[in-house]
Amino acid sequence: MAHRQTEGTGPVVPSRFEPYVPATESPAEFTLKAIVLGVLFGLLFGASTVYLGLRAGLTVSASIPIAVLAISVSVSSVIFSSSRVSCKSETAS
């Protein structure tokens, strides 16, 4: 995809990339929350796959829906927890 130039302007230069998590940080990945969510989603999708297999005679891979749900749950919990912290700090001042 070509960038359109107008008269008197130079080429479009993208800004410098800055990652969301700096390379100096090492966030925890194997946490109690990850284990609990994995067990719950595994039981839910395992049971639904068994039911579908016994009822309809075919099964589907549940790994992609589980990944999408796990990411959406963890992102929403981060958003809600940070909003609670900011509300508490605003009411304290």
Identify whether the C-beta of residue 70 lies closer than 8 Å to the C-beta of residue 37: yes
Grouping H, G, I as helix, E, B as strand and the rest as coil, residue 43 is helix
Amino acid at 69: L
Strands of 1-93, DSSP E: none
Residue 89: the pLDDT is: 47
Residue 44: the pLDDT is: 87
Q: Which residues of the chain have pLDDT under 70?
A: 1-13, 80-93
Interatomic CA distance for residues 21 and 74, integer angstroms: 16
